[in-house]
Amino acid sequence: MSEGGKHREISVAEFFEKNRHILGYANPSKAIITVVKEAVDNALDACEEAGILPDIFVRITKVDNHFKVTVEDNGPGIEREQIPRVFGKLLYGSRFHEIRQSRGQQGIGISAAVLYAQLTTGKPAVVVSKTVRDEKATKMVLYINTKKNEPEIVEVVEEDWYMPSGTKIELEIAGSYVRERKQSVLEYLRETSVINPHAKITFVEPDGTINEFDRVTDEIPAAPKSIKPHPHGIELGTLMNMLKTSKATTLKKFLKDEFVRVGDKIADDVLRRAGFSGTENIHEMGRDEAVKLLEAFRNTDFLPPPTDCLSPIGEKMIARSLMAEYSPEFVFAVTRRPKVYSGHPFLVEVGIAYGGEIKTEKVAVLRYANKIPLLYQQGGCAITKAVENVNWKTYGLMQNRGELPSGPAVILVHVASTNIPYTSESKEAIAAIPEIMDETRLALQEAGRKLKEYIERKSRQQKKKKKEEMISKVLPLIAKKVCEVLEKDPIEIDKIVARIMGYLYAEREMAEKDGVKEVVLRISNFTRSKKEFKVFEMCSGDVEAEGAKVSSSGFTTISWNLTLKPGEEVELRYTLKGRILNRKPLFDGVDREVLSGGEVMNY
């Protein structure tokens, strides 16, 4: 044992000063990503909590032999007196004691970035912030005193700033900027834009290249609400501390006030199992009483915790983001119903994009935890293991056993929870919790089934298309010869091809007399099933159409609601003083692959 005189207390800032790898500053290229990540995560959280559509600007510039990182947002800004603590004091945060989904909670992220900057370049952080109540922005230059874990302010001035509100931070750091690989600032921001479709992110690289990731929706996600602890997620030490610090006067009131899903009936059930009356003074209870209470919790059935503490992306937004970023030919997304592990609510979302402009040989896996991209430790992550454990051959992709599948596809997996079980403090991979693994597997399999349906349908369509092309080449030649031999007029081939192929067929005939066009649409159902759909014609001029809906808004739209049985044909008639604007009849409610002679409406 060391001599007593050598022992001394160290601050948390001193600890991380000597162990910065724990927070993600293990190497120069990773360090620059981590700095950007912490600032962008803070910006997104601040904007969402204030109900503001995020507009985030990131710039990295080369300065001497290091880099300057600038991150600016249009959020609510930070009150002047709070700026030193937010950026200059580790473990200072607003969400640590709240139970709800959040990108960050410990209050380490951005202050650790400030610490890394001063350790590697000796340069202070420069923060500019303005709230809507301020006429001018506050500019503050500061360091962290690592001995005391307190901010040291170098300069404070007020200055004009073009932003109505927001925050900007500038840090000069030692780092290595890389571009053409998965672990890069560019890829982090790209993946961040995919999982945050309501955010606009502009990134200027050191060589001046501008990358813009536009928002694909103006809908701001609903802010998650804080909830109380769930009895099934509590640990003995935490329970003992709660008993000491609670303001409740009796044990029954403590159960009802401090935990979620505990009412009178459940509280009485817990008390009976633990052998308490409920009138006990909780401040006089010790470890033995806490053990009895915890055992009663484990033997009591509680309702799952409420799920409004989570903020999913949603199937619609995931699909739109994947379409916008990757331009695939097929996309599908699923959001699973919330579940619970160890008393913590969580949910899993999966999106899959296939084909189109995606040209990768190996499937790209985008991993997210609480809307944060996970770029490192892919092999040790529960998400990767879940993807590998699915038999993707069943769903139309190539795969070697125990490996990621191959094919032109992107698989997105998002885990949202009040308590993400990371494998380390650097938050780079999710631990293999059985409940999370099971939910991820089920979501992946649901997406896989949809992918299989698409691939099989595409294969059938390709075979059908080849057959149609062959028929379209051969049949006209045969028809021409037959007509010549029989001395008959040439026949219409398209309708015959549609009948052979089993399509829904449309043709338009038009005759004009005295400036009035008489139009006839013939719709024939050569498919094997009943079809319900709408047919549209768009015209300019006066229209008369019996049995149709006619509406005007700059031009005239004629629409018919039709139901045709297999083999049935219908004629639609209208007169027009003007012209038809669409080249072919327009259809809504019909697959493009089974339609001949018409066009499917595009919305």
The domains of the chain, with CATH numbers, are: 12-213 (3.30.565.10), 231-298 (1.10.8.50), 330-456 (3.30.230.10), 493-600 (2.60.40.2960)
Residue 49: what pLDDT?
86
pLDDT at 76 over 90: yes
Q: What is the pLDDT of residue 439?
A: 94
What's the confidence (pLDDT) of residue 305?
80
Tell me what the mean pLDDT of segment 555-560 comes to.
92
Tell me how far apart the terminal alpha carbons of the chain are, to the nearest angstrom.
76
Specify the range with the lowest mean pLDDT, choosing from 204-208, 499-503, 521-525: 499-503
Please give the Cα distance from 422 to 19 (Å, whole number). Answer: 18
Mean pLDDT, residues 366-386 taken together: 92
In sequence order, what DSSP letters do the residues of 361-403 get, joined into one string? SBPEEEEEETTEE--S-GGG-HHHHHHHHS-GGGGT-B--TTS
pLDDT attached to residue 557: 92
Residues in a beta bridge with 578: 541
| Exposed/middle/buried for residue 200 (C-beta within 10 Å: 0-12, 13-18, 19+) | middle
Q: What is the mean pLDDT of residues 148-164?
A: 90
Contact 421, 415 (CB under 8 A): no
Residue 94 has what pLDDT? Answer: 46
pLDDT, position 552: 84
Residue 8 pLDDT exceeds 60: no
Quick one: pLDDT at residue 464? 67
Characterize the bridge pairing of strands 339-341 and 344-354: antiparallel
pLDDT tens sequence across 485-507: 777 776 677 788 888 888 899 99
Nearest to 497, CA basis, from 457, 530, 464: 464
Q: Give the three-state DSSP class for 227.
A: strand
CA separation, residue 389 to residues 2, 50, 340, 557 (Å): 50, 40, 22, 52
DSSP secondary structure string for all residues of 534-545: EEEEEEEEEEE-
Average of per-residue pLDDT across 423-448: 91
pLDDT number for residue 23: 60
pLDDT at residue 391 in the model: 94
Average pLDDT over the chain reads: 86
Q: How far apart are CA 511 and CA 513, in angstroms?
A: 7
- CA Rg value for the chain: 32
Tokens matching residue 274: 């633990």
Q: Is the pLDDT of residue 544 over 50?
A: yes
Residue closest to 58 by CA, chosen among 164, 193, 223, 165: 193
111 pLDDT higher than 50: yes
Q: Which of 68-82, 388-402, 417-431 has the lowest mean pLDDT?
A: 417-431
pLDDT at 204 > cutoff 80: yes
- Name which residue leads in pLDDT, 574 or 261: 574
What pLDDT was estimated at residue 105?
45
**More reliable by pLDDT, 294 or 306:** 294
Confidence label for 96 from pLDDT (cuts 50, 70 and 90): very low
Mean pLDDT to the nearest integer, 189-206:
94
Helix (H) or strand (E) holding 599: strand 599-600
Of 371, 380, 378, give the one whose Cα is nearest residue 417. 371
The predicted pLDDT at position 340 comes to 82
Residue 412, strand partner residues: 351, 366
* Predicted local distance difference test score (pLDDT) of residue 502: 85
Residues 6+ positions from 531 with CB-CB distance below 8 Å:
504, 525, 562, 563, 564, 589, 590
Q: Helices 434-486 and 382-389: crossing angle, nearest 10°?
A: 40
